[in-house]
Amino acid sequence: MVSLYRSGRPVLEKINWSVQEGERWVIIGPNGAGKTSLLSLISTYIFPTSGSLTVLGNAIGKIDSAQLKPRIGIASSANLDLIEPDERVIDFVLSSAYGIFGRWNEDYDLWDESRAKALLTVFGIKELAERNFASLSEGERKRSIIARSLMSDPELLLMDEPTAGLDLGAREDLLHRISTFASDPSAPASVIVTHHLEEIPAGSTHILVLDKGKIFAEGKIDQILTSQLLSDLYGIKISLEIREGRFFARAY
C-alpha cells in the first residue's frame, strides 16, 4: 500500500494494488486522478511518501533502483525533461538498456545496436535514428518512446497514453502490435493508461479505475468496465459497447 504527497497534498492515497504475472492491466480515470504518478512510482522515477511498494519482487527503497530500471519498460511522456535536447533518437532508445537517459560511456554491444535499430524499424522511424529527439513531431516522439520501452526486453511494461498523438493508422497499428504481443504467453505483465476506451488493447485482462488519488474500482475488465461505472465516474450518462474485444463509449 502506498501514498504519495506532493506540495503537501495527496496525489495518491492508500493505494493497495498488485499486478500478477501474465496480467494485462488498463488504468483509466479523470485528469489528475494520479495515473501517471502511479506509473512513475512503479518505474522508480519517484518514491512514495509513505507505505511500501514491491516491484518485480524487490522492496523499493531497499535496493538500488538503477538495477531495477532496465527490467521495467516505461513508455511515458513524463520524465522526458531528463533528456538532453541534442540526444539522438538511436541513443534515446539504446540507453534504456541501462535504464538511463543520455549516452555517456556505456559499453553497448552490437546486439544492442541492432536491437535498437530493429525497434526503430518496427515503429516506422528508422530514418529518424540520427535526428535529435527534440526535433521530432508528437507522433514521432511517441513512437520513439514506445521503441525505447521495449529495448531492454522488460519483465514489466508500463505505457502512459501510448496511442495519444498518433495518427489513426499508427494508432490502430500500435494497438494491433500490443494485442499480438500480449497474446504471447511469455510477454511481460503490462499496465496501460488510457483515456479512450477504444484504445484499450484487445486481450486486456484487468482494469484499475482511479479518481482523485484513490481506487474507484478494480478487477477483471469484463466485470468492472460497464456503462454504469463510467456514468458514475464521469458524472454523465455513458453508454458502453463491446465489439470484437474492443470497447466503445459515448455519452447519451
Ligand X SMILES: Nc1ncnc2c1ncn2[C@@H]1O[C@H](COP(=O)(O)OP(=O)(O)OP(=O)(O)O)[C@@H](O)[C@H]1O
Q: Which of 15, 25, 35, 162 binds ligand X (CB under 6 A)?
A: 35
**Whole-number Å distance between alpha carbons of 217 and 96:** 33
36 forms part of the interface with Mg ion (CB under 5 A): yes
Query: From ligand X, Mg ion, none, which one binds at residue 163 (CB under 5 to 8 Å depending on kind)?
Result: none
Query: From ligand X, Mg ion, none, which one binds at residue 20 (CB under 5 to 8 Å depending on kind)?
Result: none
Which residues share a beta bridge with 240? 249
Grid coordinates belonging to 177:
502490435
Query: From ligand X, Mg ion, none, which one binds at residue 204 (CB under 5 to 8 Å depending on kind)?
Result: none
Of 3-11, 147-155, 168-176, 223-231, the segment contacting ligand X by CB under 6 A is 3-11
Label residue 213 left, alpha or beta by phi (over 0 means left) and psi (-120 to 50 means alpha): left
The site for Mg ion, by CB under 5 A, has a size of: 2
Q: Which residues contact 241 (CB under 8 A, 6 or more apart)?
A: 247, 248, 249
Three-class SS of residue 155?
coil
32 forms part of the interface with ligand X (CB under 6 A): yes
Contact characters 210-229, ligand X, x per CB under 6 A:
--------------------
Q: Which residues contact 100 (CB under 8 A, 6 or more apart)?
A: 66, 69, 106
Residues contributing to the site for ligand X (CB under 6 A):
6-7, 11, 29, 31-37
